[in-house]
Amino acid sequence: MAILASRKVVKRFGGLVAVSDFDLEVRELSIHSVIGPNGAGKTTFFNCVTGFYRPEGGEITLDGHMLVGLSPDRITRLGISRTYQNIRLFNNMTALENIQVGEDPHLRSGIVGAIFRTRRVRREEQETVEEARRLLRFVGLAGQGDLLAKNLPYGSQRRLEIARALAGKPKLLLLDEPTAGMNTQETAEMTAFIRRLRDELRITILLIEHDMRVVMGISETVTVLDYGEKIAEGPPAQIQSNPRVIEAYLGRGSAARAN
């Protein structure tokens, strides 16, 4: 069954149609990749799903809830978390605090409780810290909770961003190029890690990725976007041999030669 479904989503920037009549169905507990050349509209689509952009047409639903028109925080509270293509951590907060912010949707304490620091508030704070530490351990950053996010090395920042996204206890996790800038070894680790997110935490993964080894290695379904339109969809093996995909990536004529 589809956890995330988009129907005929359109997003324009002035005269440029960034996403046009885009249909997508993400099956629950699948790892689904969206690929395409630069500027194909992948990140724009992510921004439509998470409420950063409001699409001009079409609808997007999560478990049947309409997402179009909701604010980003509402959408997060419904169970979607994301990471960013260019890492966007809270640089001047510690790693632990970054994750604690991610836990915010599940906190109940209000301002009065904060001022009087009631027992309930203290317990909740304690729990957020423990939960944050657990997540740090989970992503392999144990003991680095007190470092400022910007002082972490690049790979750790990527993992911290995922930990922060996990703190919201999402049903669906959108990862925007999680292996960008990583070497082969790091990429392999990240790939295994993404699979664990699905297998152990039972989170559906929707992924934008350029590294074809990652895409072909872990995805169950691949959707290919070009100029805002879906040009192909299917299991990795099928996509790899699809002439339209090869054309989009390598230019006209390449497909013929490949055949």
Partner 1 sequence: MATQRSSPFVTAVQQGAIAGGVAVLLTLMGMVETFNERDIVQGVISLGILLLVAIYLVFGSTTARTLSQSQVSVRIGASALAGAIGELFLVGLVILGQQVNLRPVFPNASPELWEILQFGLSAPQSYLAMLGFGAVFGALGAGLTLVSRRYRGPVIVGFLCVVLIGLLDDLIGITIASNPMFATSPVIETINQFFFAQGVENGLSKAGAVVVFLVASVLAYHWPTLRSGARSRTQAMPAGRQHTLALSMYGLFVVILLILPNFLGPYLTDVSNSVMIFTLMALGLNIVVGFAGLLDLGYVAFFAIGAYTMGVLTTTAVGAESGQIVWGPGLTFWWALPFAVLFSLMAGVLLGIPVLRMRGDYLAIVTLGFGEIVRILALSDALKPYTGGSQGIVEPAMPTVGRLSAALSSQGLYYYLLLACVGLVIFVAIRLRDSRQGRSWMAVREDEDVAQAMGVRLVSTKLLAFASGAAMAGLAGAVFASKVGSIYPNSFDLLKSINVLAIVIVGGMGSIPGVILGSLVLFGLPELLREFSEYRYFVFGAVLVAMMLTRPEGLWPSTKRKQELHENMGPEADPRPQVLSTPGEAGSV
Told to check if 90 binds partner 1 by CB under 8 A, we report: yes
Told to check if 118 binds partner 1 by CB under 8 A, we report: no
Told to check if 91 binds partner 1 by CB under 8 A, we report: yes
Told to check if 85 binds partner 1 by CB under 8 A, we report: no
Told to check if 101 binds partner 1 by CB under 8 A, we report: yes
3-state secondary structure of 2: strand
Per-residue DSSP letters for 36-101? -STTSSHHHHHHHHTTSS--SEEEEEETTEE-TT--HHHHHHHTEEE--SS----TTSBHHHHHHH
Report, in Å, the least distance between residue 243 CB and partner 1. 37
Can you tell me the distance from the alpha carbon of 225 to that of 248, in angstroms, rounded to the nearest whole number?
9
**Cβ nearer to partner 1, comparing 152 with 224:** 152
Binding segment toward partner 1, per CB under 8 A, in 14-22, 99-107, 228-236, 243-251: 99-107
Among positions 111, 119, 251, 257, the unique one binding partner 1 when judged by CB under 8 A: 111
- What separation in angstroms does the CA of 49 have from each of 54, 78, 118, 126, 253? 9, 12, 38, 33, 35
Show the site string, 188-217: x = touches partner 1 by CB under 8 A, - = not. Answer: -xx-xx--x---xx----------------
Among positions 126, 151, 184, 238, the unique one binding partner 1 when judged by CB under 8 A: 151
Can you tell me the distance from the alpha carbon of 53 to that of 17, in angstroms, rounded to the nearest whole number?
13
> If we measure between CA atoms, which residue out of 227, 247, 248, 236 comes closest to residue 21?
227
Q: For 180, phi and psi rounded to 5 degrees?
A: -60, 135
Told to check if 121 binds partner 1 by CB under 8 A, we report: yes
> If we measure between CA atoms, which residue out of 203, 258, 254, 194 comes closest to residue 37?
254
Contact 158, 190 (CB under 8 A): yes
Which chain residues interact with partner 1 by CB under 8 A? 50-52, 71-73, 76-77, 81-82, 84, 88-93, 97, 100-102, 104-105, 107, 109, 111, 114-117, 121, 124-125, 128, 134-135, 137-142, 144, 147-148, 150-153, 155-156, 159, 164, 166-168, 185-186, 189-190, 192-193, 196, 200-201
